[in-house]
Structure 1
Amino acid sequence: MKKITVLLFLLNSIFAFSQKIESYKLSKEQITQRELDKISDFPIYRAFEYKDKSGVTNLVLTENQKNISKKDTLNTKIQAICVMNNHGGFLEKWRINDLLEDYNPKETTIWFWTKYCSTKDLDGDGYIDPVIVYGSKTEYDEIRRVKIITVYNNKKYVIRAVECDLDHCRSFKKDQNWNTLPQKIKTHIDQLVVRLRKEQNLLLKDG
């Protein structure tokens, strides 16, 4: 009986190890080796690789770098693309596209806020739940829009915020399906919103 118990323990340990969640940022060399630069028309700003129950997945964040100067790089479009390697090719799981919008004052750049992005298993189900954060700035170098996109079961759940000094032009909206997310994920995003308010001096609220 003891031998069977030990064997079951070893088998469970091996299974648990094989299901280990891993996630890390890719170097430029690793991006080239995996040929990830071929999946987007824009330069890759940051790339991640993660392993969960579904297999090995790559997430690339790309920005078109429309205007590049010594002072800054300005983007008019961004893309986030999530793919799995499929027998030498890529199987796309999901994609995010966005671009500058016609606001007053004028938006001049849009970019990924990678310090707030994450590739973690937020609810402990063995699958990574990517969180993508990006924003836009105006011609006065003020943050205008902020988007927080959570991907759960390959579906996107979005928070859209517009910053403005005046109440009538400020907004903070969650998708209608937001409350269908697991509580652990919602708690993580709520804490992220608090962090953004504190660290970036944002309002992130309705007028």
Structure 2
Amino acid sequence: MKHLLPLLILLPALAFAQGQDSKTTCADKRLLQAETLKKSGIFLPVFKHYCYSDQSGNYVLYLAEKQDVKGEEKLSSTVEAHLLKIEADQSLSSIASIRDKANADEAGMEFWSKLTEISDIDKDGSVEPILVYRFYNKKEDRPAEQDAFSGRIKIVMFYKGSKMVIRAITGTLDGERETTATDNFFALPVSVQKHLVKKMANMYEDNLYGFDNSYQFKPVNKPVKPKTK
């Protein structure tokens, strides 16, 4: 299930090529060579990779999925993302990474690559990549439940070398839905917080995912409602 609304993406420097999905992709084929990936600690199959530049240098962002869950959808038990800086000597240095796994009672997970953003949200000269990936519930008559009000989701932003995470669970009842964020979300510039909240609101309005809208889609830093069985 690789769908979802396209988003405006910051145009890359001339050294980088434009991908077919309107995301910035890398012209340097070396970045996908097995030796390069091995040295960078990337061992899962690379699903997407993007390049961008800002005032601090040139970067490559890898999305990797195991894609080991059998069924109609290419779901994974494990996904990874790696943000690396391309140094002057063309070596790669790690800036931030994520590695996540689906629970045993879930059907699997995947990146929603059409919701990836690579842009300078707060106009400070530094790019803030945003990634979205979803965990799917199992369903008796098919491998994964695709309904917008099932499963859970994570939105990850790499901001100035640190990792910010929004976690959301959903359900058909209001009391089942909850959106929380790591502490550093609340220290982000107001413009960045508003951008992320608007992103969730848009996903809700487009029937992509049923976020909790109790607080106008704003996440909280701890659960505030009891779960409904």
Partners of 1:21 and 1:121 within 8 A in 2: no
AA aligned to 2:32 is E
Shift of 1:68: 5.1
Partner of 2:218: none
Superimposed CA distance per residue, residues 23-75 of structure 1 (whole angstroms, 9 cap, x where no aligned partner): 75326xx4633236513111111111000011110001110111355x22120
Seen in structure 2, the aligned counterparts of structure 1 residues 36 and 185 have a Cα distance that, compared at 3 Å, is farther
Find the counterpart in structure 2 of residue 151 from structure 1.
Answer: 158
Q: Secondary structure at 1:82's aligned position in 2?
A: strand
The aligned counterpart of 1:85 is 86
Matched residues in 2 for 1:179 and 1:188: separation?
Answer: 13
2:209 pairs with 1:202: yes
Determine whether 1:192 maps to 2:194: no
Residue in 1 aligned with 2:76? Answer: 75
AA at the equivalent of 1:200: N
> Aligned AA for 2:137?
T
Residue 97 in structure 1 maps to residue 99 in structure 2: yes
How many residues get paired? 182
- Bigger Rg, structure 1 or 2: 1
Q: Distance in 2 between matches of 1:36 and 1:96?
A: 21
Q: Distance in 1 between matches of 2:178 and 2:52?
A: 34
Task: Give the superposition deviation at 1:166.
Answer: 4.5
- Aligned counterparts of 1:21 and 1:179: Cα–Cα separation in 2: 29
Q: Which one has the bigger strand percentage?
A: 1
Aligned twin of 1:121: 120
Once the two structures are superposed, the pairs formed by residues 54-65 of structure 1 within 5 Å of their partners are 54-65=56-67
Query: What secondary structure, in the 3-state scheme, does the structure 2 residue paired with 1:172 have?
Result: strand
Q: Normalization by structure 1: what TM-score?
A: 0.78
Aligned partners of 1:43 and 1:64 also within 8 Å: yes
Residue in 1 that maps onto 2:54: 52
TM-score normalised by L of structure 2: 0.71
The gaps in structure 2 that reach 5 residues or longer are 1-10, 17-22, 140-144, 215-224
Cα 1:57–1:199, aligned 2, differ >3 Å: closer, same or farther?
Answer: same
Task: Answer yes or no: is 1:164 the counterpart of 2:171.
Answer: yes
* CA distance in 1 between partners of 2:205 and 2:175 (Å): 22
Letter in 2 for 1:101: N
Q: CA deviation at 1:165?
A: 2.8
Match for residue 34 of structure 1 among 16, 25, 31: 31
Task: Give distance in 2, aligned partners of 1:52 and 1:89.
Answer: 18
Gaps of 5+ in 1: 1-19
State, as a whole percentage, how many aligned pairs show the same letter: 22
Name the SS of the counterpart of 2:126 in structure 1: coil
Amino acid across the alignment from 1:192: K
